[in-house]
Amino acid sequence: MSTEPKHARLYYLDWLRVSAFGLLFVFHSWRPFDHFPWLLKSDDQSIVFDLLTMFTHGWRMFLIFLVSGAGTWLAMRAREGRFVLDRVLRLMVPFAAGVVVVIPPQRYYEWLTAGEFAGGFLEFLRVYPSEQLGADMGVSGLLWFGHLGTHLWYLPFLFVMTLFCLPAFSVIRAGRIDFSKIKRLMATRVGAFAPVIPMIVCRLVLKPVFPAYTDWADFFVYLWPFLYGFMFMADREFLGIIRERMGAFLSVGVICSATFVWMGAISNEAVEAYLNPGFTALHCFISVITMLVAYSWIMFFLALFARKMNFNHTLLIPANIGILPVYVLHQTLIIVFGYYIVQSDLPLLLQFLGITLTAIPAAILLYRVIQANNLLRFLFGLKLK
């Protein structure tokens, strides 16, 4: 069981957060080179990147929401009465600033790539607002987050999720929930996977009704890792149980990921059932497999980092602070630099390295500019000097 002091800094959570977002940055850097639809595509594509996309897509955002839940516990403990205001400043202000400043250049190059626009950037800015705001997102308000903010949908998602869970978080923080039965169940070999059941049920029931990415089905599926991250901070004995079951999580993760990748590789029917499911037996099977993939890998990485990465480093805390502005900036820079790089005659690997080694360092350099100015710090969710 966990023996960590209640208020000791958990460095492995910092490492896990930096690593999860770091993977997201690299993930977006290789997306031009897989065979799946994305915002920017190279003529040179590889099955290697297909496999990487299929493997990591199954758990990368789940890991970010798990870490976000743990971070929400720490933020509530530190900020008490001004927590909601802090979430507005930390999440919604960067989202709004990103929509206005960061996303338009990304959309401009997307439109050029898709052949939807042929003019200059200033001409684009005259038509872009009306085009965006005139879109039909149906009855689901959540889809506006991705439509207006592309990759920034995570920020308002997390904000809405936090407000939705606040009553439960207040009860948990007050110690009015007894987790002893859940911990005894999770301490068993099979019971360690019990928390995946609500994730399976949510995907099973909601995905055929809300199939679009970042619609309500995804909201409630991501909600559970977010809630678990909060719970595991509230009762640290959970972390001890998870560390003890690290091998089981790894085994199930490998088996289920291999099954999912194999099904996607041999069957268009399986891909369609994953993206646009109906209430079928195949949808049931894919829901079980994909949620086991997500749950097993995020629990494995939590256990691994808790065992091996609970130490400080001079770069860790600065990286953890800067990860939000770099996240806001990174995809636009990938699209802008990538637009020109994928049109070159460079081999595929050099194109990928070219995007990675220009966009991500450029995001870090821009973060250094943001860091030095209080107005920019405010707009990108940082504390003022």
pLDDT of 237 reads 95
Task: Kindly indicate the confidence band of residue 385, based on its pLDDT and cuts at 50, 70 and 90.
Answer: confident
pLDDT score recorded for residue 378:
97
What average pLDDT does the structure give for the chain?
Answer: 94
User: Is 239 domain-assigned?
Assistant: yes
The model's confidence at residue 384, banded by pLDDT at 50, 70 and 90, is: very high
Q: Classify residue 1: in a domain, yes or no.
A: no
pLDDT tens, 55-86? 999 999 999 999 999 999 999 988 777 899 99
In a domain, residue 2? The reply is no
Identify whether 5 is part of a domain.
Answer: no
What is the rounded CA–CA span in Å between residue 61 and residue 67?
Answer: 10
Phi, psi of 180 (to 5 degrees): -60, -40
- In a domain, residue 385? The reply is no
Domain count, the chain: 1
Read off the pLDDT of residues 1-51 as tens digits, 9 standing for 90 and up. 444 555 678 999 999 999 999 999 999 999 999 999 999 999 999 999 999
Q: What is the dihedral of CA 181, 239, 248, 20, to 10 degrees?
A: 130
CA distance 187 to 193: 10
Please check whether residue 347 lies inside any domain of the structure: yes
- Per the rule left: phi > 0, alpha: psi between -120 and 50, beta: everything else, 40 is beta
Greater pLDDT, 105 or 385? 105
Tokens, residue 39: 């915002």
Structure confidence at residue 1 (pLDDT)? 45
DSSP state of 382: P
Range of the domain at 258: 11-379
Question: What average pLDDT score do residues 158-183 get?
Answer: 94
What's residue 2's pLDDT? Answer: 46
* pLDDT at residue number 138: 78
DSSP of 343-362: TS---HHHHHHHHHHHHHHH
Alpha-carbon gap, residue 230 to 10, rounded angstroms? 14
Give the pLDDT mean for 92-106: 97
The fraction of the chain above a pLDDT of 90, given in percent, is 88
- Rounded to 5 degrees, what are φ and ψ at 10? -95, 90
Give the integer Cα–Cα distance in Å for 167 and 165. Answer: 6
Q: Which two tokens stand for residue 318?
A: 């600065």
Taking only the tens place, the pLDDT of each residue in 268-304 is 888 888 988 999 999 999 999 999 999 999 999 999 9
pLDDT value, residue 141: 87
Tell me if 235 sits within 8 A of 179, measured CB to CB: yes
Q: Do the domain assignments include residue 168?
A: yes
Buried b (16+ CB within 10 A) or exposed e, 34-44: beeebbbbbeb
